[in-house]
Amino acid sequence: MVIAVGNSRLHVGAFLAGELKQVRRLSRASHHDWPGQLAEVWSEFAGVSGAEVAGCCVVPGLLEQVEAVVKSATGQAVLWVGNEIELPIKVLTKEPEKTGVDRVLVTAAAYEQLGKACVVVDAGTAMTVNLCNDKGELVGGAIAPGVGMMLGAMHEKTGQLPAIAFSAPTSDWGTDTVESMRHGVTHALRGLVQTMAERWAEASGTWPEVIATGGDAAALFEGWEIVHAVSPDLLLYGIALAYAEHHIKHGS
């Protein structure tokens, strides 16, 4: 079982023989439901010997809570990527230890699928744009507010802009306030992705494939011509990849 602890939710999956069999997205607000939900996912491994739980976490303050819930639901301790499990790719940023493990894992998963330089966009609470070279190394990228943060800031910092939920714009441009806000957020984030892809193309000498993941990826990027694919469970594949490569390397 793999579990990704994010700023807004837990992303949980069950891998059997390398295949992702089940996925759950659990809101942090509904933490009382976590034990039952995790136990249901863990039931996929009934009769399977040696099953373990691997995870990544970008919210250190939740580690103890998640570890306790997982232990009660599965009887297993969590093997965290970056601690018990080694990172699956090299990180070439100035401070690799401060680079988010989620950024590393989505980049590793995308490279494992493509086998070449790429741009990996993770559209969650924050949006990251991650640049991967032809060796499969994370060289850097960009971090920006995600759609929820942008819409929330517009509402909180102005006198008249409403609090709205995000969805993909349905018109060529905004003709009312709500649709104009959605256009503003969409094109701001798409502009970041396009700019970073162009810069990476200039640096690498070829146009990179762009892979998008994260909770808002489909609404932001589905059908956009520069995005090669939207893969909502890329982070789960990254955790599974790190787990598998760690055990292969150590012969366990």
- What is the set of active-site residues? 102
Dist. CA 74–CA 130, nearest whole Å: 33
Lookup result for tokens 């069950």: 14
Dist. CA 146–CA 132, nearest whole Å: 21
Dist. CA 135–CA 111, nearest whole Å: 9
Lookup result for tokens 């819930």: 69
Determine contact, residues 120/213, Cβ cutoff 8 Å.
Answer: yes
How many CB atoms are closer than 10 A to CB 35? 15
- Which amino acid, residue 139? V
Closest CA to 208 of 124, 132, 101, 112: 132
